[in-house]
Structures are given as C-alpha cells and as structure tokens.
Amino acid sequence: MEPVSLQSFAPAIAEIFLAFAVCVILMAEVFAGERRAGLTGTLSLLALAAGAALTVRYGHVTHRTVLFDGMYVADELSFVLKLVGFLFVAVALLYSRTYLRNRNILRGEYYVLALTALLGIFVLVSANNLVTVYLGVELLALSVYAMVAFDRDSGVSAESAVKYFVLGAIASGALLYGMSLIYGLTGTLDLGEIAARLHAPLHPGVILGLTFIVVAVAFKLGAVPFHMWLPDVYEGAPTSVTLFIGTAPKIAYFALALRLLAQGLAGTTAEWTQMLAVLAVLTLVVGNIVALVQSNLKRMLAYSTIANVGFIVLGFVAGTPDGYAAALYYTLAYVLVALGSFGVILLASAKGFEADRLDDYKGLYRRDPLLAGTMMVLMFSTAGVPPFIGFWAKLRIIQALWETQHLWLVILAVAMSVVGAFYYLRVIKLMYFDEPAGELPAAAREPGVRLALGINAAAVLALGVLPGPLLDLCARLIH
C-alpha cells in the first residue's frame, strides 16, 4: 500500500475545508449567541470565499485522480462544479440576508445547514462509488429538509417539509434498492468497475435496479411523474430556502445523473435513455401547461423549474457526451437565471409582506425599475429569447437531439418552449403593462444586494451575447 501523504488529500480540499468551517461556525454561533445574528452570515460568506480560493490554489487537478480507495474522484468537472457551487451558494446567502432578518429566522443554524448542504453537493459531484453517491444525496437532502422547516412558526413550511421528507425518503429507498440490485449483480460498488462489468446481454435484474435508480434521479430532479413535492415545497418553504433548493442542488443532481447513469451505468444507456425520453416528454408537457394557470409566482416558477428539468433530461436522452455537455450548460444557465428570479422575489418582499402572488408584481416597473428590469431579462432568458443565455441553452439541447435523430423530441421541445414563453411574458406584462394594484410596501433598498442582482442580470445578457467560452468549457468538462 502506498504511504499516505498529506499532499494526496489536496484534491479534496474543498470538502475538508468546508467540513472544518461548518464546525467553526457552529461554535462561533454558540458563543456569539443571538446577540450578533449577522456574525455567522458574514463568517459563512468568508468561508465560501476562502474555500473557493483554497480550491483554486490546491484543489486543481490536471487529470482524473481517484482518492480514498476509489470512493472519491477529482477531475476537471468536479473542480469547476465545486467552484460554481461556492459561487452560487454565496450569492444565494447574500440575497437571503434581509429576508431572513425580516422574518426573525436569521440564525446561525440556517447558514450551517446551507454549508452542509453544499458539502453534500461536493460529495455527490466527486462520487465514484455507490456509497459515496448515497452519502452525498442524503447529506444534501437532510440539510435541505431542515431548511424547508426552518421557519418553525409557519404551518405551511412545516407541511411542505414533512411532504418533502416523506417523499424524499421513498426516493432514497428506491435509490438504495436499485443500488443493492446493481451491487448484487455486479459484485462491486465502484462506479468504474460497474461500468466495466455491465455489458450485453443484460441480466433482467440490472434493468430492474436501473429502473429504481432512474426513479430516484427523476425524483431528485423533479421530473414528471415524480415531481409532486416540487411545487408544494417551492411554494411552502421560506423564499430564501426556495432560492437555495432551486439553485445549487440542481448542479448536484446533474452530477448525480451523470455519475450514476452516464458513467456508472453506461452499459445500459440504450435502456435508460428510453425511460428518460418518456419522462422528458411528460415533464415538458405537464410543467409548461400547469405553469400557465398559476397565480402564485413561486409556484409558477416551480412548474417552470419542472419544465426546465424536462430540457435537462432531454440532454441525457441524447445519450452522447455532446448531450451531457448540453445538459450541463443548460443546468448552469438555468441556475444562474433561477438565482436572479428568486432574488427578485426576496428583494420585493418586505417585513410582514411576502411578494409571492403574481398580482404583487403589477406595475413593479413604476415602483422599482431595477427589479423589474432584472426580472424582465431573466424571464426573456428562460423563455429562450436571444440575446440571453437561455437561448443558447435551448439551442444546445436541440442540437444534441438532432445529432441523435430525435425528430419528434425536437418538435415537442420547440413547441413547448412557445407555450412556456406565454407565462414568462405574463410576468413581464404584469410588471410593465399593468398599473400597480393598491399600495404595496417598497422593496428593500440594500444597495449591495441590488448590485449583485444587477450583475446577475448582466451576466445573463453577457453570456448570451458571447456564449462561446462557457459552451467550450462545458464541452471540455464532459469529454
């Protein structure tokens, strides 16, 4: 056995540092108490910045490196996704602060849970073994369940947390069961080994195990018909938590699908692409059509998330590296836009007022041009209109589908993006064309957060005008 040197842990610096930081912040919270409620928030942001810096300095690997007896893999993909995770979580926490304070839930545990969730994301992104995958999934999920229930005085939050927890537990069960079948039939937990041992003719048990794994992945992503939890959780959770679960975890679930299906179970690509194709069709249709009739913005965005998940799944349906790269690009583009749109809701809300009904956005332009402008950019982007990033995301998926000759999926995808355009346009219509309905509390001033939101929208535009570098990056990470 090779001697273990400290150096060899370097690729895992992000996880190691984050676990350490979580402990320190917990202690700081205990000693500082509630008198200095902002302290943990600041510490968490510092920890995220430091973690990102350490990852850049020590965590970069030039080639695929396997650590901890094959449990853990570090490659360029995990390196970049971790940096993106640091960034997105930092932005999410930045957007949330005033909202949390207004609702008296600005407590250290919130930040600690967010950081443990991020740790779960990292573990998932670097998983190379079924056990590691499960570890990451559960660490992320348990942190998020607690976050949804964080506003303990809110009945709605508690209800959605219970719903999320119960359904999530079933999904975890399905995942474990599927994994156990695969393990039993291949005799290994290592994803690389599984890929090597699965080849035609496939044992029927493998297909059964695969089915359970696909169900679990679909649940985590929110693909129809395993999407039931998503609208309720998005609507019921405090908006800052909705922002959180709507953004960084999507990266983890992309990684989950990639590591499990595309890499570990590569031998069954023909089978799972068919399953995913059915899910994608249902997801696109249900997500887009149900979103049309929502009157609550958070719920509408939940269905919009489902619709977008449909596109991400379509990338996997292609079953080619190009398709996975498209799905990765779509995920990043989607998360960037979701961060901004929930950020707008957070900023538009005030003490004792939750700006989550669509009608609350009537005439927003007159009250707050910056928020309205930001939201307009984000809505046009999700609708897939150039010059914004969402256009390239859709284009990339359609291209991957053409490359694999999926004529009908292309037609469905473009037709559904037209249906989708309608409800995004409706938000713009409310903000710009309608008169304000009555007196509503002014949006939070927060110059720093506003600047961040402005940069967020500007990034959506800039990456839409010059999409080349990010497209290249995504392609390079997958190949």
**Which listed residue (395, 452, 459, 462) binds another protein by CB under 8 A?**
395
CA–chain centroid gap for 260, Å, is: 17
- Beta pairing partners, 129: 190
- What is the secondary structure of 178-209 as a DSSP string? HHHHHHHHHS--BHHHHHHH--SSPPHHHHHH
d(CA 348, CA 357) in angstroms, rounded, equals 11
Q: Does 410 bind another protein (CB under 8 A)?
A: yes
- What is the secondary structure of 382-411 as a DSSP string? HHT-TTSHHHHHHHHHHHHHHHTT-HHHHH
> Which of these segments, 110-118, 197-205, 247-255, 390-398, binds another protein (CB under 8 A)?
390-398
The DSSP output letter for 195 is H
Q: How far is the CB of 384 from another protein (least distance, A)?
A: 8
- Tell me the two tokens of residue 340: 């901004």
**Which listed residue (192, 387, 436, 454) binds another protein by CB under 8 A?**
387
Check: CB of residue 141 under 8 Å from CB of residue 172. Answer: yes
Q: How many helices, marked H, and strands, marked E, lie in the chain?
A: 20, 2
**Which listed residue (32, 278, 421, 459) binds another protein by CB under 8 A?**
421
Count of C-beta atoms within a 10 Å radius of residue 254: 25
Q: Does 479 bind another protein (CB under 8 A)?
A: no
67: left (phi over 0), alpha (psi -120 to 50) or beta: beta
Check: CB of residue 41 under 8 Å from CB of residue 98. Answer: no
d(CA 464, CA 382) in angstroms, rounded, equals 12
Q: How far is the CB of 91 from another protein (least distance, A)?
A: 25
Q: Does 145 bind another protein (CB under 8 A)?
A: no
Residue 349 or 417 with smaller CB distance to another protein: 417
> Which of these segments, 68-76, 106-114, 142-150, 397-405, binds another protein (CB under 8 A)?
397-405
Q: Does 433 bind another protein (CB under 8 A)?
A: yes
Q: Does 417 bind another protein (CB under 8 A)?
A: yes
Q: Does 85 bind another protein (CB under 8 A)?
A: no
Q: Does 408 bind another protein (CB under 8 A)?
A: no
Q: Does 70 bind another protein (CB under 8 A)?
A: no
Q: Does 472 bind another protein (CB under 8 A)?
A: yes
Q: Does 429 bind another protein (CB under 8 A)?
A: yes
Q: Does 20 bind another protein (CB under 8 A)?
A: no
Q: Does 398 bind another protein (CB under 8 A)?
A: yes
d(CA 313, CA 132) in angstroms, rounded, equals 23
Instruction: Count residues near another protein (CB under 8 A).
Output: 32
Amino acid code (one letter) for 180: S
- Beta pairing partners, 353: 350
Q: How far is the CB of 472 from another protein (least distance, A)?
A: 5
Q: Does 471 bind another protein (CB under 8 A)?
A: yes
> Which of these segments, 6-14, 108-116, 190-198, 386-394, binds another protein (CB under 8 A)?
386-394
* N-terminal to C-terminal alpha carbon distance within the chain: 31
Check: CB of residue 90 under 8 Å from CB of residue 53. Answer: no
Q: Does 451 bind another protein (CB under 8 A)?
A: no
* Closest to 143 (Cα-Cα) out of 19, 300, 59: 19
**Which listed residue (32, 158, 266, 386) binds another protein by CB under 8 A?**
386
Q: Map residues 301-330 to x or -, x wherever contact with another protein holds by CB under 8 A.
A: ------------------------------
**Which listed residue (290, 368, 467, 478) binds another protein by CB under 8 A?**
467
Question: Where does this chain bind another protein (CB under 8 A)?
Answer: 380, 384-387, 391, 395, 398-399, 402-403, 410-411, 414-415, 417-418, 421-422, 425-426, 428-429, 432-434, 466-468, 471-472, 475
